[in-house]
Amino acid sequence: MLIGDVLTISLLSLKIALSALILSLPIGLLCAWWLAHSKGFAVSICESILLLPMVLPPSSCGLLLLTVLSPGGLVGRFLLNHFGVNLILNWKAAVIAAAFVSFPLLMRACQQSFAQIPESLTEVTKSFGLTRWQAFRQVSVPLALPGILNGCILAIARSLGEFGSTIMVAGLIPGETETLSLAIYARTINGKDTEAWALASVSIGLSFILLLINRLYLKGRQGGLSSL
Amino acid sequence: MVIKCFENLIFCCALICFIADLQAAPMKLRIGAAASLQDVLQEAGEAWLKTTEKGTKLTYNFAGTSTLVRQIKWGAPLDVFISASKENADEMIQAKLGLEDSVLSLASNRLVLISPMETKTEALSLEQLAKLERVKLATCDEAVPVGFYTHSYLRKVGFYERLKSKFVYIDHARSVLGMVANKTAAFGMVYRTDAVSEARRVKVILEASPTDHPPILYLGLVLSRASQKARKTATSFLKFLASSEGQTFFSKHGFKQPGSKFAYR
């Protein structure tokens, strides 16, 4: 296998992981902020549902997404008929799958970061006459930024490792959805051990670097806002 | 004291279970077979069990032939290997993992293009398929038999390059079938018998001429890892599959006779 192939596959994985992050970040931030400032049984239920993809078997996530997004499913049919958008078996599907499973990690990190902002500060923003949206944008997000960045790193790492739901909804299409984890799997079962190892080395390296950043960062901020 | 007694009790129970298991140990034949044989082997296996020594059991591991080859090389505990291609059977024998004199040709198959039942077209040429935009054709890597036959066929008829961009790769023939049956992919190339097994959800829109691809041949062989006793049982199982009684199951599921032309030797 050419070095070019390894590069293409690695870059594609990164592209999908970053796109997934862009997709899940706004929703993750809003959910995290809401959860950090709400209490009660209903909130706990919502929180559990939002965290579910983190512990669900990826194949369940895959089935769920497939049922909803495939042209036979409700959302899939609507999107295809009205907008001509197909969200199955293409790179968009890979992005959605990655975003779906990495979302809880991102949200959790952001939520903990928001929760550590002192209550009193929230009170102060109110006395300055800031609206909730302004308080979120100008006070909470900047203060929680280290924790949010940390969550982003974890989400990217998780997206890079995503396999189960990706192979179900996005399939393995060389150059389009063939991410590192899919490529390693396919090459292993098809007996291309050397190629599998070349790709696995890249994935081990990438994941290690991401985790190292995460750890160094936490060390640097000992007991800071962003402990996960 | 009570805990000590309890511990002893559990130990004794475990020991009894272990000994009982050893004594009653029935012959368990472990079969690794091409995914496309799923239905026919289970049915034929049931029939064979009735004719053989009581207590004999069959366990199956259905997967893509290439996956099975990997697993066997990695040391998977299997006694029988049924391959969907001659190449993979040869590979086993060359690696001294299969017993050469145990090889039997069991069946042959055809290659078809399928689509979900709801698709409006009843028949489609490859030319028309190549012109369709935004559709996917589910297939397997060339290391997997069904992928090997599909790619060889498309190359022979000159459509490989034009259709390549539509390929989406999956593990084995049955996964291709599943992908088309649940409408994830609009088209797929599988064996005719796979299409028959899902006749309510998929339809055949093109049948490849058998002269346009290498012959599809299912070969069964006994693995050298099998114990002496297992080898005997395994041979009798394979002979049953190749016998006229065993062949009735294959033809019932739409497989073709292997034919003397394709016989292993």
Rounded alpha-carbon distances, angstroms, from residue A105 to A12, A25, A51, A149, A156: 22, 11, 8, 12, 10
Q: Which amino acid is at B124?
A: L
The mean of the pLDDT values for chain A is 91
Helix (H) or strand (E) holding A55: helix A41-55
Q: Cite the residue boundaries of each domain of chain B with CATH code 3.40.190.10.
A: 2-108+217-262, 111-212
Comparing alpha-carbon positions, the chain A residue that sits nearest to B181 is: A72
Question: What is the pLDDT, as a whole number, of residue B1?
Answer: 56
Question: What is the pLDDT, as a whole number, of residue A226?
Answer: 45
Please give the average per-residue pLDDT across B236-255, as a whole number.
95
Contact A70/B184, CB-based, under 8 Å? Answer: yes
Comparing alpha-carbon positions, the chain B residue that sits nearest to A72 is: B183
Contact A191/B167, CB-based, under 8 Å? Answer: no
Q: Which long-range contacts (CB under 8 A, 24 or more apart) does B147-150 make?
A: B148/B85, B148/B87, B148/B214, B149/B85, B149/B111, B149/B213, B149/B214, B149/B216, B150/B111, B150/B189, B150/B213
Which residues of chain B have a CB within 8 Å of the CB of A177? 168
Strands (E) across chain B are located at 28-34, 57-63, 80-83, 104-108, 111-116, 137-139, 167-169, 187-191, 202-207, 217-222
pLDDT digit string, tens, across residues B2-16: 566 667 766 655 666
Please give the average per-residue pLDDT across B27-46, as a whole number.
94
pLDDT higher than threshold 60 for residue A227:
no
Band of residue B263 on the pLDDT scale cut at 50, 70, 90: very low
Question: What is the pLDDT, as a whole number, of residue B265?
Answer: 44
Q: What is the ipTM of this complex?
A: 0.78
What does B153-193 look like in DSSP terms, one character per residue? HHHHTT-HHHHGGGEEE-SSHHHHHHHHHTTSSSEEEEEHH
Please give the average per-residue pLDDT across A81-106, as a whole number.
94
Any chain B CB within 8 A of the CB of A173? yes
Any chain B CB within 8 A of the CB of A223? no
Question: What is the pLDDT, as a whole number, of residue B17?
Answer: 55
Contact A171/B184, CB-based, under 8 Å? Answer: yes
pLDDT digit string, tens, across residues A166-181: 999 999 999 999 999 9
Rounded alpha-carbon distances, angstroms, from residue A35 to A32, A41, A59: 5, 12, 27
Question: What is the pLDDT, as a whole number, of residue B260?
Answer: 53
pLDDT higher than threshold 80 for residue B48:
yes
User: How many other C-beta atoms can be found within 10 angstroms of the C-beta atom of residue A98?
Assistant: 30
Probe site for chain B from A65, A66, A89 (most B CB atoms < 10 A)? A89
pLDDT digit string, tens, across residues A188-215: 888 888 999 999 999 999 999 999 998 8
Which residues of chain B have a CB within 8 Å of the CB of A70? 182-184
CA gap B165, B150 in Å, rounded: 15
Which architecture does CATH list for B111-212? 3-Layer(aba) Sandwich (3.40)
- Nearest CA of chain A to the CA of B122: how many Å? 20
DSSP 8-state secondary structure symbol assigned to residue B223: B
| Percent of chain A topping pLDDT 70 | 96
- Nearest CA of chain B to the CA of A110: how many Å? 35
CA gap B2, B181 in Å, rounded: 59
CB pairs under 8 A between A and B: 51
pLDDT digit string, tens, across residues B92-109: 999 999 999 999 999 999
CA gap B55, A151 in Å, rounded: 57
Comparing alpha-carbon positions, the chain B residue that sits nearest to A62 is: B184
CA gap B145, B104 in Å, rounded: 18
Beta bridge partners of B116: B202
pLDDT digit string, tens, across residues A35-76: 998 989 999 999 999 999 999 999 999 999 999 998 878 898
Of B136, B143, B183, the CB nearest to A191: B143
Band of residue B262 on the pLDDT scale cut at 50, 70, 90: very low
Please give the model's pTM, rounded to 2 decimal places.
Answer: 0.82
The mean of the pLDDT values for chain B is 89
User: How many other C-beta atoms can be found within 10 angstroms of the C-beta atom of residue A81?
Assistant: 10
CA gap B114, B123 in Å, rounded: 10
Q: What percentage of chain B's residues is helix, strand, coil (to nearest 5)?
A: 50, 20, 30
Of B70, B168, B184, the CB nearest to A189: B70
Which residues of chain A have a CB within 8 Å of the CB of B182? 66, 70, 72
Beta bridge partners of B115: B203
Which residues of chain A have a CB within 8 Å of the CB of B168? 89, 171-173, 177
Band of residue A222 on the pLDDT scale cut at 50, 70, 90: low
Q: Which domains occur in chain A, in start order?
A: 3-220 (1.10.3720.10)
Any chain B CB within 8 A of the CB of A27? no
Of A71, A88, A190, the CB nearest to B141: A190
CATH superfamily of this structure's domain B2-108+217-262: Periplasmic binding protein-like II (3.40.190.10)
- Nearest CA of chain A to the CA of B14: how many Å? 33
Comparing alpha-carbon positions, the chain B residue that sits nearest to A77 is: B183
CA gap A189, A153 in Å, rounded: 30
CA gap B49, B56 in Å, rounded: 7
Which residues of chain B have a CB within 8 Å of the CB of A72? 182-183
**Nearest CA-CA partner of A142 in A16, A29, A21:** A29
pLDDT higher than threshold 60 for residue B24:
no
Any chain B CB within 8 A of the CB of A64? no
pLDDT higher than threshold 70 for residue B261:
no
